[in-house]
């Protein structure tokens, strides 16, 4: 039976408007409109008027085998020329009750009325039986074939299959029905359309259907095939039963013993396919949805599947009846199994399917090839590759992609593999895609939920088939949740454009985003991020690069060697290659890769590789980090603790961020004011190479900087300390130097120390060629300066001082070097370990003042004013020389004093003194050095030792000059003399509190101590004061009060005397003794006080203080005294 064999073929239906023909002219109209007599079941069929002379064939088997009706039923009379169904007693009552009187004279009008407007209980079983026999005889009557042969001559001749059909068994009409989409003859089309309406009202009238499905119907209890057992007219319920069995089989994967046989499956799907253009032909759905059709689709014409589509669009309306909704869902599920069950889709996409060979894949089973998802994937692949797909087909695809996203039950894999998850977490959310989004939420692992791999895979497959990334409107739940955001934030983008999703991601966690949209967006993006092809813009720009660099296949193909989730990783590895490394991405592709990276940085779950490799670590270290962006920060904070595979991926991502910090979208948003005010040039550069982060670091303390930005920048700086690769500019400038000079060192701080030490050693040794390259030395300076700003950027120092910070500086903020300054100010109270680290830090800072962040910050303007020409390493020396200038900023002056106090605690903290006295120190102060440790202060002991030798005039000229400067400075400010401060603190508080509180730095505290020498009780303090007196005899500049009082006398009487070695003091003493010389009263008084002090020292057997002060040989006073 060729027609029945054709029922197994997959038919692409073409356009056909269903036309109910009543009163048509011509042979077909005559046959269908004139009275047709119906013999009793055993009699000969009636003679159609249009073929009165045709030979009468034997009755069809179905008629012969049918059991005789009971006597009470109307037995059809012998055929007469004017036989009418309305005259039969079996149907007379039903006809009068249900059908308009004007239809009674037309048998087919009566048939249509009774089968379309009644349900099983509405007509008697006798009438059902009569109609059954009438329709069966119509179907198999060869006289109808003769009419078909007459009105369809051209069609039969053109259709090879129908031309070859066996005549006399009803197969010709079935064949013509099969090919009705290709019928162009008007009368033939009318005739076959009417026959279609007759045939599909009962499953037993479909060619071969009973033979194919007899066993299945009995096994599944779908109803009887015998008219005697169940004599009902509409057998649509039987077909519906089989359709539901097909759906259930796909959803539950039942054993073969309970499933539908292949032959019956094909026959049932064929019935669904052939009824796809007119919903009247799906008897079960027609009866279930009659009222809903009137309610929702009253103005929709039947034919071409229009009523189906209209009803599908209203499926989730509140007023839709449940029985209609169930019938629609069943039909949608059949469409999901075989796209040809949708007339409009099959028709619209017929040429595109053929063009792109979407149904010619011999490697796939036939059932798979007909799946709606396969069709969508194949055609979507063509669209994404830039191929032409007709607008009509794309419109149909859009409708069915939306359908798949709205109702999870249309995907048998979801129903099968996600049953547990739906029952446990997502029940009651069936409508408008809510169940799918609930499952997506579970897939993201929110609130500790988990999802089995089969369910996850089923979701991923469904989203690939629906492809909502190409048009957000496909996802109804997302569309409704984000409508307000789209209208405000993305209104400049064309409706349905793929960039809408990207726009929404850019506004994630901003004021314009609403909570419901945020959730739906992240749920969808979680799955889009796991297959690079689901981002249509990325795929369009990068498909060539992916094929070239990552060996990818077609859009709907995958490879075990390069699964979809791994392709993006491959792309971004090539995105940041240098020209020397080769095999780089195209510019357009790199831009899209950067866009996706920016979006993924918003949520760790949007990075599939990161989440997969770090699942254990996320649970172990970051379970309480639930706020935006916290999970990645947490992983970076615990980098050393991560398992190797997680450590690798977090390290790679962090390294990538160092080159393009714009990947950190949340940080960029927080830092927008700083970027606009100070970094716009770097921000405008699309190819960021670490410039942007460097700019942010340099402007961390600008007034535009807010807390969020400052915290984010500092965090990134802290992460950079873990690996020098995380600082892109440093890595690129110094990678060769690191390999050569610091191999096997990974931590950035250790690399910086290694390279800095090398640079310092080369500098001190005056080598001809520095081992560290110039470009590395420049970037090394930047890194050192950045590290000086926050103690946390120097991990060893921070770890050593954590307890001290908590104890002494708990109220001080990190950053701006405030914490380091606090520790310096409390140096005497620090733990030994912290004290040692601070001393080493100060030693470095004093030799390289640029690394003293607080000094450079507070004195920034003064450096510009006084020290523009000074070498960077001499900045502090320059500031000290200009400290007492009237133009000096008070805050800077205070900071300089702090640094002077620090320097005077240990000669090692004064590099200028150390260099000048490098021969004197071991010569005169070796005993002190023998007791000293490498990393703790000598509390000014070496400098005190040198001071004594200065008074004895035994120092080398360079060393003497430096000690003179120290003596002059400390004479003005007692705090610059650490030994004096140590031994005289109590005496100062008791005797000189007012002078100390004034902090005038004019030597008043020292003068107070000298004046009150007799009142000093502590011997150690008295000794220090006497030492000051001795120092002042060596040089009047060391006694600022006396020097000020005698300034005019020095000018008048000692101008020719060279300062130093006590020469000017001797000059004044001789002038005091010379009665011819009149000194200023204040000078005379101060000199007399000094003599009294020295006399007191002599009485206390301080002979060492009373060394003779001889005038220089060439002085005038010396001559006069002689």
Which band of pLDDT confidence, cut at 50, 70 and 90, is reported for residue 1106? very low
Q: Which residues have C-beta within 8 Å of that of residue 44, sequence separation ≥ 6?
A: 56, 58, 59, 79
Residue 326 has pLDDT above 50, yes or no: yes
Q: Look up tokens 């254990």; give the residue.
A: 616
Q: Residue by residue, what is the 3-state secondary structure of 390-428?
A: CHHHHHHHHHHHHHHHHCHHHCHHHHHHCHHHHHHHCCC
Task: Specify the range with the lowest mean pLDDT, choosing from 221-235, 641-655, 944-958, 984-998.
Answer: 221-235
Query: Token pair of 513, please?
Result: 């985003």
pLDDT for residue 368:
53
Cα 1068 to Cα 1053: distance, rounded to the nearest angstrom: 8
Which of 73-82, 461-470, 1036-1045 has the highest average model confidence (pLDDT)? 461-470
CA 483 to chain centre: 22
Q: Look up tokens 């599908």; give the residue.
A: 312
Residue 145 has pLDDT above 50, yes or no: yes
What's the average model confidence in pLDDT over 70-75? 38
pLDDT for residue 1094:
80
Burial of 1087 (0-12, 13-18, 19+ CB in 10 A): buried
pLDDT for residue 199:
61
Query: Token pair of 1023, please?
Result: 């000794």
pLDDT for residue 58:
36
pLDDT for residue 1008:
92
Task: Specify the range with the lowest mean pLDDT, choosing from 32-41, 153-162, 471-480, 861-870.
Answer: 32-41
Which band of pLDDT confidence, cut at 50, 70 and 90, is reported for residue 170? low
pLDDT for residue 26:
45
Task: Specify the range with the lowest mean pLDDT, choosing from 48-62, 465-479, 529-543.
Answer: 48-62
Determine how many CB atoms are found less than 10 A away from the CB of residue 689.
16
Evaluate the CA torsion angle 461, 465, 469, 475 in order and state its sign.
negative
Which band of pLDDT confidence, cut at 50, 70 and 90, is reported for residue 61? very low
- 847-877 per-position pLDDT tens digit: 899 999 999 999 999 999 999 988 888 999 9
* Whole-number percent of the chain with pLDDT over 70: 82
Contacts by 173-180, CB closer than 8 A, 24 or more apart: 173/139, 173/144, 173/145, 173/148, 173/199, 174/3, 174/4, 174/199, 174/206, 174/207, 175/2, 175/3, 175/6, 176/148, 176/152, 177/274, 178/3, 178/6, 178/7, 178/11, 178/274, 179/155, 180/16
| Closest residue by Cα to residue 448 from 626, 603, 608, 602 | 626
Mean pLDDT (the chain) is 81
- 400-458 per-position pLDDT tens digit: 999 999 998 889 889 889 988 888 888 876 677 889 999 999 988 876 678 888 999 99
pLDDT for residue 859:
95
Query: Token pair of 186, please?
Result: 């008007």
Burial of 836 (0-12, 13-18, 19+ CB in 10 A): middle
Which band of pLDDT confidence, cut at 50, 70 and 90, is reported for residue 124? confident
């Amino acid at each position: 039976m060729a027609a029945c064999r054709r029922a197994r073929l997959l038919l692409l239906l073409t356009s056909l408007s269903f036309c109910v023909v009543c009163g048509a002219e011509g042979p077909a109209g005559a046959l269908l409109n004139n009275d047709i007599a119906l013999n009793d079941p055993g009699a000969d069929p009636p003679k159609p008027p249009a073929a009165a002379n045709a030979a009468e064939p034997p009755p069809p088997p179905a008629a012969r085998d049918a059991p005789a009706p009971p006597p009470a039923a109307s037995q059809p009379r012998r055929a007469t020329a004017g036989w009418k169904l309305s005259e039969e007693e079996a149907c007379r009552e039903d006809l009068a009750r249900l059908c308009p009187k004007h239809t009674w004279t037309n048998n087919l009008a009566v048939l249509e009325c009774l089968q379309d407007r009644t349900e099983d209980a509405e007509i008697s079983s006798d009438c059902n039986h009569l109609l059954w026999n009438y329709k069966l005889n119509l179907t198999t009557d060869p006289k109808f074939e003769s009419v078909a042969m007459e009105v369809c001559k051209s069609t039969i001749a053109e259709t090879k299959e129908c031309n070859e059909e066996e005549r006399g068994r009803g197969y010709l009409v079935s064949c013509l029905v099969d090919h009705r989409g290709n019928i162009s003859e008007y009368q033939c089309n009318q005739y076959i359309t009417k026959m279609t309406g007759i045939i599909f009202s009962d499953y037993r009238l479909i060619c071969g259907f009973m033979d194919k499905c007899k066993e299945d119907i009995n096994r599944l209890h779908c109803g009887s095939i015998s008219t005697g057992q169940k004599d009902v007219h509409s057998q649509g319920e039987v077909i519906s039963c089989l359709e539901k069995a097909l759906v259930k089989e796909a959803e539950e994967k039942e054993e073969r013993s309970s499933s539908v046989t292949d032959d019956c499956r094909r026959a049932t799907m064929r019935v669904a396919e052939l009824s796809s253009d007119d919903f009247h032909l799906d008897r079960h759905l027609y009866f279930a949805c009659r009222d809903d059709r009137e309610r929702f689709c009253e103005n929709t014409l039947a034919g071409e599947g229009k009523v189906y589509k209209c009803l599908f669009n209203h499926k989730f309306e509140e007023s839709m009846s449940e029985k209609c909704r169930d019938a629609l869902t069943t039909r949608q599920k059949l469409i999901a199994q075989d796209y040809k069950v949708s007339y409009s889709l099959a028709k619209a996409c017929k040429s595109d399917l053929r063009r792109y060979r979407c149904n010619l894949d011999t490697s796939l089973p036939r059932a798979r090839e007909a799946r709606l998802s396969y069709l969508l994937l194949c055609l979507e692949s063509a669209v994404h590759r830039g191929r032409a797909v007709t607008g009509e087909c794309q419109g149909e695809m859009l409708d069915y992609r939306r359908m798949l996203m709205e109702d999870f039950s249309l995907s048998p894999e979801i129903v099968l593999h996600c049953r547990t998850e739906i029952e446990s977490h997502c029940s009651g959310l069936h409508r408008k895609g809510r169940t799918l989004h609930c499952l997506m939420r579970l897939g993201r692992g929110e609130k500790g939920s988990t999802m089995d791999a089969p369910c996850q895979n089923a979701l991923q497959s469904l989203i690939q088939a629906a492809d909502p990334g190409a048009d957000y409107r496909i996802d109804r739940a997302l569309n409704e949740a984000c409508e307000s955001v789209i209208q405000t934030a993305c209104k400049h983008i064309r409706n349905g454009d793929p960039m809408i999703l990207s726009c929404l991601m850019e506004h994630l966690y901003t004021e314009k985003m609403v909570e419901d949209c945020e959730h739906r967006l992240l749920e969808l993006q979680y799955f889009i991020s796991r297959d690079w092809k689901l981002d249509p813009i990325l795929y369009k720009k990068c498909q060539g690069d992916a094929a070239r660099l990552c060996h990818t296949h077609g859009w709907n193909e995958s490879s075990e060697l390069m699964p979809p989730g791994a392709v993006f990783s491959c792309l971004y590895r090539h995105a940041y290659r240098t020209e020397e490394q080769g095999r780089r991405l195209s510019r357009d592709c790199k831009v899209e890769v950067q866009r996706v990276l920016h979006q993924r940085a918003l949520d760790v779950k949007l990075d599939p590789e990161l989440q997969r490799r770090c699942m254990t670590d996320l649970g172990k270290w970051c379970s309480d980090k639930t706020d935006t962006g916290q999970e990645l920060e947490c992983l970076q904070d615990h980098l050393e603790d991560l398992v190797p595979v997680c450590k690798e991926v977090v390290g790679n991502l962090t390294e990538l961020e160092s080159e393009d910090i714009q990947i950190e979208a949340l940080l960029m948003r927080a830092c927008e004011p700083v970027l606009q005010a100070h970094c716009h040039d770097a921000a405008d550069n699309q190819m960021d190479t670490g410039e942007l982060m460097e700019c942010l670091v340099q402007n961390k303390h600008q007034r535009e900087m807010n807390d969020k930005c400052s915290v984010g920048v500092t965090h990134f700086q802290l992460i950079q300390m873990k690996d020098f690769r995380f600082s892109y500019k440093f890595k690129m400038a110094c990678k060769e130097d690191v390999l050569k000079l610091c191999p096997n060192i990974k931590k950035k701080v250790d690399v910086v120390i290694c390279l800095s030490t090398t640079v310092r050693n080369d500098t001190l040794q005056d080598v001809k060629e520095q081992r560290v390259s110039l470009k590395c030395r420049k970037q090394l300076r930047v890194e050192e300066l950045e590290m000086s700003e926050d103690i946390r950027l120097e991990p060893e120092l921070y770890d050593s001082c954590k307890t001290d910070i908590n104890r002494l500086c708990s109220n001080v903020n990190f950053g701006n070097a405030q914490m380091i300054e606090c520790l310096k100010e409390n140096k005497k109270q620090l733990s030994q370990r912290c004290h040692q680290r601070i001393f080493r830090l100060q030693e470095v800072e004093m030799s390289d003042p640029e690394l003293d962040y607080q000094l450079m910050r507070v004195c920034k303007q003064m450096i510009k004013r006084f020290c523009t020409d000074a070498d960077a390493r001499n900045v502090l020396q320059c500031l000290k020389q200009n400290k007492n200038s009237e133009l000096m900023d008070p805050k800077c002056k205070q900071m300089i004093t702090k640094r002077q106090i620090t320097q005077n605690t240990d000669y090692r903290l004064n590099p200028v003194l150390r260099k000048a006295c490098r021969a004197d120190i071991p010569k005169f102060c070796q005993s002190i050095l023998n007791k000293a440790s490498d990393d703790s202060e000598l509390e000014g002991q070496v400098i005190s030792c040198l001071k004594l030798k200065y008074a004895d005039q035994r120092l080398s000229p360079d060393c003497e000059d430096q000690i003179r400067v120290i003596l002059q400075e400390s004479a003005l400010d007692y705090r610059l003399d650490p030994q004096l401060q140590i031994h005289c603190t109590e005496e100062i508080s008791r005797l000189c509190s007012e002078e100390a509180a004034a902090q005038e730095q004019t030597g008043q505290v020292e003068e107070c101590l000298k004046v009150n020498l007799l009142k000093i009780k502590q011997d150690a303090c008295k000794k220090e004061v006497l030492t000051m007196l001795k120092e002042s005899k060596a040089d009047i500049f060391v006694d600022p009060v006396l020097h000020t009082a005698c300034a005019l006398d020095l000018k008048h009487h000692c101008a020719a005397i060279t300062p130093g070695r006590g020469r000017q003091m001797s000059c004044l003493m001789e002038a005091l003794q010379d009665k011819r010389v009149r000194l200023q009263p204040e000078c005379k008084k101060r000199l007399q006080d000094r003599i009294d002090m020295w006399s007191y020292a002599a009485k206390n057997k301080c002979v060492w203080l009373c060394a003779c002060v001889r005038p220089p040989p060439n002085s005038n006073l010396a001559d006069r005294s002689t």
